[in-house]
A and B are shown apart, each in its own frame.
Chain A
């Protein structure tokens, strides 16, 4: 009995440590700030994590393959600002347009990486700069606001006391977990991340599959952007500009290795909770932004160190 528990613990040490970190963070913030888990506090936490979770799920698939996608934050911005800037001209049609646009950029990422063998690190970084330029071009750096009730309801309409964006995020998360764990698509994604050569020789169309995953990541970023704009009701180029690091941190904290093949969207949920709730908790306590940044950076590193599954990941680069 005791032995089996130890064995179980050893096997699931990274899940356990993610869970422990989550509980610890909740306890610490609750102790320091009783408003943390109040109704209003909880709403703030949910708003902070929902759009974030959607992007993170898409990005998790890319990281599971051992690749990077640095363009997701820019694509989220593109989608969000596209909605708000062109709302008056196209109405709700902006939603499918924005999402198609980011999906197309995701596809471009995929082509560059899978077909033309540009390292994903560089390809997606390049694409993200192009996208930033495009956003700056059509938004001209100005602040835009939207008053379209139907659009805003997508994110802020209350259902059973919680904002709609929460249900979107959870729905997309469940779908991602299902995709990753129970379908051939997910299995092939793990295969590519775990051993590219073996995957190719096992009949995975690696060019197609990698392109597909990058495209999917673009799609997720687009959806997240639309919902984020519906949540905020307005924004400028500044939107989401310091999202990159927390995003990668949340995925690693969840237990998906940057080297690929390990982890998955089911793990990312905890990572996202840990990271976004830490950030939000610090903001709620009205600590200066400087100190926030220092604390957050330290927490992110500790989390990454604590949750890396050393049994499965032999080498860390």
Chain B
């Protein structure tokens, strides 16, 4: 049915090459119909973001054609020109300016339409902001600061900003606005994602969405059509309203191979009965975050803290890491109580490591891979006289880690900012692999990286677990719990509700 209509937007034969070598897009054809949600899936580096940037006028293509309701038009030269044709992009990250008020943020870049003789018409700005928010059913006060809003609402406000920009810039009111969302769900928790999807499903009556993601189930859940990108090419497209596809199908198309091999191996990891208690938490409380949390963690065990964002799971793991403090209760690690107000380095000395999927917390981007790995393992690379760093040793370690984790880089001396997201993450994991802490705290270990790199990281973590490293996991991806954990604490409203096995969790999730 949709295919009979004239597409709202059509791209034909789009090519883009970076630095004359990296072919980001090769002969890409896509089209978008009014009032639909179009999913774009693919691994990191498949070209999704590049394609979106071309569509939104952020990047120019090398070649290609753009059609607008069947008429050929030039590509937009900048975001403002794109907006005047009804296209706006909600970027992957850093789109929000925290210290602006909601209405100021909404109007950012469009102030010229709300000023007279150089003076901003604040009243009118706020009124317009309120109007668009109520129209889209976003509940928030236009006078609060962006940083005060919860993450999911910030994302909705960003979408509202995109729609508003189109309205302000695009004179033709008959045009359906096109909002491009680049990985919008990465910072959101599961239930907030649902909220976003509901919002989009409702809004698609008047707006078309292009939705970029690497999380397959969510795309399958609500997109109308999808394109699968691999290595800069459109591999296949599906009409989800007509075809019934499984996650596994899409996975194979994205990666170009099957994932069953890995999943099978996971089954063979035997869960031996763990023995000694390594970490014991008793009646731990922090006002406003979590209350009366008690649990034991055995050696070589991986314990999951499962819950929604804001359930207190993130705060608990940060408390264990020493990033946050607790009010009451007791944490005993290896027979010794942990002091209040102990900073992370003191916890690390005791053998508690904290690994976050946010590379900004883990890596020194202007450093080489070798240095990033050795900062956590300085005692291993100290040579002569116990004071001099041995750079040869450093590189040896780096080469070893690069091999085991399949890190793609020209040499151990390559600087980390030049690596792709997945490879960066692998370097972070590598330094903990080399360090071998007794307890490793994992917070969103694979956030924002693609399927292939994820598997390598899971493999590395399972290997570490096999070698007797205990773990505590907090994640937004329920599958990660099933894959990595032996036991899972179900947390709700800051309290432990029940303890479940991975199998039970899988069941609960399926029922939901």
Contacts and interface: CB of A to CB of B under 8 A. Distances in A.
A183 B348 contact: no
A311 to B, nearest CB: 9
Interface of B: 321, 343-346, 348-349, 354, 356, 360-367, 371, 374-376, 378, 382, 387-389, 431
Contacts of A195: 360, 363-365
A261 interface: yes
A188 B344 CA distance: 15
A207 interface: yes
Nearest to A179: B387
Contacts of B321: 201
Contacts of A199: 364, 375
Contacts of B344: 200-201, 203
B361 A198 contact: yes
B360 A198 contact: yes
Interface of A: 182-184, 187-188, 190-191, 194-195, 197-207, 261-262, 312
Closest 3 CB pairs between A and B? A203-B348, A194-B364, A205-B345
30 contacts: A182-B388, A182-B389, A183-B389, A184-B378, A184-B389, A187-B371, A187-B378, A191-B364, A194-B364, A194-B367, A195-B360, A197-B360, A197-B361, A198-B361, A198-B363, A199-B375, A200-B345, A201-B321, A201-B356, A201-B362, A202-B348, A202-B376, A203-B344, A203-B348, A203-B376, A205-B343, A205-B345, A261-B364, A261-B366, A262-B366
A170 to B, nearest CB: 20
Contact of B345 (A184, A194, A203, A262): A203
Contacts of A190: 364, 367
A92 to B, nearest CB: 31
- Judged by DSSP, the binding face of B is helix
Contact of B366 (A182, A201, A312): A312
Contacts of B389: 182-184, 187
B361 A184 contact: no
Interface centre among A187, A191, A201, A312 (most CB of B within 10 A): A201
Indicate the member of A184, A191, A204, A312 with the most B CB atoms within 10 Å: A184
Contacts of A188: 375
A282 B356 CA distance: 54
Contacts of A312: 366
Contacts of A197: 360-361
Contacts of B364: 190-191, 194-195, 198-199, 261
Contacts of A203: 344-345, 348-349, 376
Nearest to B356: A201
Nearest to A182: B388
Nearest to B371: A187
Given A184-B382, A184-B389, A187-B389, A204 B363 contact: no
Contacts of B365: 194-195
Contacts of B361: 197-198, 201
A204 B374 CA distance: 12
Contacts of B374: 187
A246 to B, nearest CB: 27
Nearest to B390: A182
A191 B375 contact: yes
A234 to B, nearest CB: 40
A194 B343 CA distance: 19
B375 A187 contact: yes
Contact of A201 (B346, B354, B382, B387): B354
A206 B348 CA distance: 13
A309 to B, nearest CB: 10
A206 B345 CA distance: 8
A203 to B, nearest CB: 4
B366 A194 contact: yes
Given A202-B348, A202-B376, 12 more contacts: A182-B388, A194-B367, A195-B364, A197-B360, A199-B364, A201-B321, A201-B348, A201-B361, A204-B345, A205-B345, A207-B343, A261-B364
A191 B363 CA distance: 10
Contacts of A191: 364, 375
A184 B371 CA distance: 11
